[in-house]
Structure 1
Amino acid sequence: MQSTSPSEAFPAQTPAVAQIFTTVLSHGPLTRSEVAERTGLSAAAVTKAVRPLIEAGYLVEDADDTRRALGRPANPVRVDGGRALFVGVKATGDELIGVLTDLCCRIRVARHLPLTDPDPRPVLAAITELVQELLTEAEGFGVPVLGLGLAVSGDVDRAQGIVRYSPFLGWSEVPLAELAVMTCGLPVTVENDVRALTVAEQWFGAGVGLSDFAVVTVGAGIGCGLVVHGQVVAGAHGVAGEIGHVAIDPAGPKCRCGNRGCVEAIAADAAILDRIREATGLEVADTAQAVDLARQGHPGAREVYAAAGEAIGRGIATVANLFGPQRVIISGEGLAAYDLFAEQIRDTFTAYAFGSAAQCDVQTRPLPFEEWARGAAATAIQSFIRSD
């Protein structure tokens, strides 16, 4: 097992250093003057912060890219992605997806491990097995693994490292970070899976450079990650962005949360399957079969997907009206059926978005499950940069 030794610690861990490093990580290579312009810090503060980062090997000067700053040549700095490695693991109801990434969150190795028992003990054992496998792979890179990120659906308290409630795993009050530290020997960050994906999109994906955006995920559940004024928002109780449990039809189907007519009770995969079986009288085995049935033109199946699109559109309009994001990124495994409800999402969003909120850029971004694990690794990188 590996852990972070003092010599591998991030230098001078102040808010300014973290801000400068994160800016270069997302936007680099950048000259020092460009970093100062983007961060609003003085040139002297940037120079002071960059020097120890270069000395520690986290930043390098790009000698092949000489730009001009105030009439003088200036070498941009960039993050040395190969300086350190991180592990990210995404837990679903039946599988673990693990990745080994570099400091720039580029996936170097990916592994999948089936879960046969969702109880915390066997899941922790499986996480440990997967992490050890990735640590073995990491030995070939010759640099340390400095953190582990774990992404789990549901109500997750990142500060305490506790999974408060995960409906897909059936967990309640599981101190996952504490347990994983003991078995894996790495600093551990535990985060809600959608918020973890949002961190990756903010730093490395479709949210780079945006101060306000949302990630809406469709599939087994309906999730939402929010970035407001450049910060991923969890809210006072850690459940900000739960648009899946916004009730849009009081007389609608019962949701697993106990309410009726939630977006998730209409548009999540399991809800779609149940409603298609009810509408068609057919034994539809899984989502793939439901999609095929709808694409073949079966009216009952198509109506169910149309209703799902309307529910998602209402949910996205609610996000736009409340937070006014520049962009909403739709992702998740449910995008496999996007052609069946794209028009309804767009039309319903336009109808329910208030005023200029309708100008929000709504775009789709299909991502494999490895990207969710990459999001977990991104939270570990984030914790490493910002740790005290």
Structure 2
Amino acid sequence: MTTRAAAGWLPLSPGERAVAIEVLVHGPLSRSEIARRLNLSAGSLTRLTKPLIASGLLIEAAESGEEGESAEVRQGRPSQPLDIVAESRSFIGFKITEDMVYGVVTTLRSDVVARRDRPLPTHTPAEVADLLAEMTEELTRSFPAPAGIGIGVGGRVEKRSVVAESAFLGWTDVPLAELVASRTGLPVVVENDVAALVEAETWFGAGRGLDRFVVLTIGAGIGYGLVLGGSRVASVEDGRGVGRRWIVNPYGPLTPEGERGSAISLLTIPSIRYQVSAATGEDLAYEEILARAAAGDPLSARVLDEAARALGTLVAQIANFAMPQKILLAGEGVGLVDVAGPVVEETILTHRHPQADPVDLETKVSDFHDWARGAAVLAIQVLVLGAGERR
């Protein structure tokens, strides 16, 4: 089974790429502002923008000058700000979980315009690739000729193409990009799901325009991403389960695997459910535990307060050592802050210097479509703009 071919895109030179990214992330921008940001002369900027406008990637946006003023009466170089044609290309992003695949279609500015979810009945790589190809075919019926596909996977990914290790899928050295590309005829990029989410938030979300930024995710696991100088810091530890060795309280609870006091044992949804189940004999959903704690149930409240202290400790440690301008707390588990926010705040203050700057902590309840959008942003960065390659 094949899909429509990807829309063509001429390779960009480093200078063209820099201009395109600046306008994509921060636009619309005037030519003078682009030249100032990139330290370019007016002539160099004109040379770089001409092919971008001719290809349909950039457009001269409507003017925002004084009322009654028009480009025809102005002298010199055109004055209209430049902007990206967001709808000129579409991108597909997938997030693979243990039992589901979540898919989205986005514009060039990562606006989600369509969603498609399917159960994942098997972890056999070829069959997973078949399912992704079927979903791609379904999505392209309404949004033809996508420029590429991004796939986010929990685990370690090499060369943005091979899933080197994914415990929840039981995969080792699976060439997922090749498998999906051969079935769809589209270029494919694969990345660790947390890394993809960090890239999306850096370009289009909470970290936009920030020099130092951190994403901390809590849900089925713990994820961490650091941005310095406006770029994500890649590491060989990406996708290796950092939370298992992040000891928050050495006297804390055990996980079913026997770990004591780690971020995994205190903060993840499965561990919180396990603790409540061990104490009550009830198998409660995470949302039920949050509701019971909010209603004053002492056992649920105790478990969540311990989790909140662990979260506050983590946030304070990150703030102390990475000194970010903002920390984004994301994932399916951030409802913890709604119930035990004061405990989180108190713990942060306890572990910070009294004269330290307040921690700018932003919370975002992320569903799996946000993770899929992150994968689509990777496709935008790598496949189209040639940016963000892992060094």
Per the normalisation by structure 2, the TM-score is: 0.88
Q: 1:356 to 1:160 in 2, by over 3 A?
A: farther
The residue that corresponds to 1:166 in the other structure is: 166
Contact 1:224 1:241 survives alignment (8 Å): no
The residue that corresponds to 2:157 in the other structure is: 156
1:326-376 per-residue CA deviation (whole Å, 9 max, x = no partner) reads 100111111234322222222222222457765331111223322211111
1:23-42 correspondence to structure 2 within 5 Å: 23-42=22-41
The one-letter amino acid paired with 2:102 is I
Which whole-Å CA distance do the structure 1 matches of 2:27 and 2:105 have between them? Answer: 22
The one-letter amino acid paired with 1:107 is V
Contact 1:245 1:262 survives alignment (8 Å): yes
Cα shift at 1:76: 0.2
SS at match of 1:198: helix
Deviates more, 1:234-243 or 1:176-185: 234-243
1:105-124 correspondence to structure 2 within 5 Å: 105-124=110-129
The one-letter amino acid paired with 1:197 is L
Q: 1:40 to 1:343 in 2, by over 3 A?
A: farther
Contact 1:90 1:373 survives alignment (8 Å): yes
Deviates more, 1:16-25 or 1:374-383: 16-25
Which whole-Å CA distance do the structure 1 matches of 2:139 and 2:23 have between them? Answer: 27
The residue that corresponds to 2:141 in the other structure is: 136
1:162-209 per-residue CA deviation (whole Å, 9 max, x = no partner) reads 222223323222221121111222111111111111111111111111
1:57-104 per-residue CA deviation (whole Å, 9 max, x = no partner) reads 000001333489x99772100000111111001111111111111111
1:278-309 per-residue CA deviation (whole Å, 9 max, x = no partner) reads 23x23133212222222221111101111111
Q: 1:254 to 1:3 in 2, by over 3 A?
A: farther
Which whole-Å CA distance do the structure 1 matches of 2:85 and 2:48 have between them? Answer: 16
SS at match of 2:248: coil
1:204-243 correspondence to structure 2 within 5 Å: 204-239=204-239, 242-243=242-243
SS at match of 1:45: helix
1:236-290 per-residue CA deviation (whole Å, 9 max, x = no partner) reads 45459935641223343445887532201111000000111223x2313321222
1:84-103 correspondence to structure 2 within 5 Å: 84-103=89-108
1:21-60 correspondence to structure 2 within 5 Å: 21-60=20-59
1:364-379 correspondence to structure 2 within 5 Å: 364-379=363-378
Which whole-Å CA distance do the structure 2 matches of 1:162 and 1:358 have between them? Answer: 41
Higher helix share: 1
Cα shift at 1:151: 0.6
Contact 1:61 1:75 survives alignment (8 Å): yes
Contact 2:223 2:243 survives alignment (8 Å): yes
Q: 1:124 to 1:355 in 2, by over 3 A?
A: farther
1:1-388 correspondence to structure 2 within 5 Å: 1-4=3-6, 8-11=8-11, 13-66=12-65, 74-139=79-144, 144-157=145-158, 159-239=159-239, 242-243=242-243, 245-254=245-254, 259-279=259-279, 281-353=280-352, 358-383=357-382, 384-386=384-386
Unaligned runs of at least 5 residues, structure 1: none
Deviates more, 1:372-381 or 1:129-138: 129-138
Unaligned runs of at least 5 residues, structure 2: none
The one-letter amino acid paired with 1:268 is T
RMSD, aligned CA: 2.6
Per the normalisation by structure 1, the TM-score is: 0.89
Which whole-Å CA distance do the structure 1 matches of 2:137 and 2:106 have between them? Answer: 15
Q: 1:168 to 1:100 in 2, by over 3 A?
A: same
Q: 1:294 to 1:342 in 2, by over 3 A?
A: same
Cα shift at 1:119: 3.5
Write out the 4+ residue segments of structure 1 that deviate beyond 4 Å after TM superposition.
70-73, 254-259, 354-358
1:140-176 per-residue CA deviation (whole Å, 9 max, x = no partner) reads xxxx31110001112222x251222223323222221
Q: 1:58 to 1:261 in 2, by over 3 A?
A: same
Q: 1:18 to 1:147 in 2, by over 3 A?
A: same
Q: 1:343 to 1:169 in 2, by over 3 A?
A: farther
The one-letter amino acid paired with 1:80 is V
Which whole-Å CA distance do the structure 2 matches of 1:315 and 1:336 have between them? Answer: 17
Which whole-Å CA distance do the structure 2 matches of 1:385 and 1:160 have between them? Answer: 15
Aligned residues: 378
Contact 1:349 1:358 survives alignment (8 Å): no
Q: 1:299 to 1:237 in 2, by over 3 A?
A: closer
Q: 1:161 to 1:355 in 2, by over 3 A?
A: farther
Which whole-Å CA distance do the structure 1 matches of 2:202 and 2:75 have between them? Answer: 33
Which whole-Å CA distance do the structure 1 matches of 2:337 and 2:283 have between them? Answer: 19
Q: 1:9 to 1:270 in 2, by over 3 A?
A: same
Q: 1:10 to 1:347 in 2, by over 3 A?
A: farther
- Aligned residues: percent identity? 35
